[in-house]
């Protein structure tokens, strides 16, 4: 006659073997983290410094504001950059989420063909007040501008 304890004893070693095999297989698996990106739809950030809490420009103008500034710089077509006639050109920008706004001016495109970068000045109307900033924007792999540097400028 068979007892239920006999079956239980036979099942326990089988469960232990399954646990050991599962742990061994899990230990052999690997997790990889991508170092670079070949994805042109979402390119990595070009250059720039790491933002800190003491960086006044970064605390006033966040990454979303910088993206909107870069989108407005994208309106500068090849005809304007080739002629270099950006004197007097002003471009307004507005971030409807943060409420920050400003005007891009003093856009210098003289180095655009060589380096892919241009310099600009922008005002920013933020919760802390209105300030003037100097910045640089460079083209990424998709030929869109990205703000690479931004600092408070003297008036």
Q: Is the pLDDT of residue 18 over 80?
A: no
Structure tokens at 52: 């800190």
Mean pLDDT of 18-37: 62
Structure tokens at 128: 């802390």
Confidence band of 44 (pLDDT split at 50, 70, 90):
very low
Q: Is the pLDDT of residue 31 over 60?
A: no
Structure tokens at 1: 């006659």
Which class for 88: exposed (0-12), middle (13-18), buried (19 or more C-beta within 10 A)? exposed
Q: d(Cα 80, Cα 48) in Å, to the nearest integer?
A: 26
pLDDT digits (tens, 9 = 90+) for 132-148: 999 999 988 888 899 99
Q: Which residue has the higher pLDDT, 47 or 60?
A: 60
């Amino acid at each position: 006659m068979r007892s239920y304890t006999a079956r239980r004893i036979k099942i326990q070693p089988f469960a232990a073997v399954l646990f050991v095999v599962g742990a061994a297989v899990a230990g052999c698996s690997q997790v990889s983290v991508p170092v670079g990106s070949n994805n042109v739809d979402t390119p990595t950030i070009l250059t720039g410094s790491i933002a800190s809490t003491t960086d006044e420009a970064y605390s006033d103008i966040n990454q979303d504001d910088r993206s909107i500034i870069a989108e407005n710089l994208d309106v500068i077509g090849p005809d304007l950059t080739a002629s270099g006639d950006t004197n007097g050109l002003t471009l307004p920008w507005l971030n409807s989420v943060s409420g920050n706004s400003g005007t891009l001016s003093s856009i210098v495109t003289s180095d655009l063909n060589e380096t892919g970068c241009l310099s600009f000045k922008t005002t920013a109307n933020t919760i802390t007040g209105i300030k003037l900033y100097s910045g640089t924007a460079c083209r990424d792999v998709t030929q869109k501008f990205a703000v690479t540097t931004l600092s408070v400028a003297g008036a």
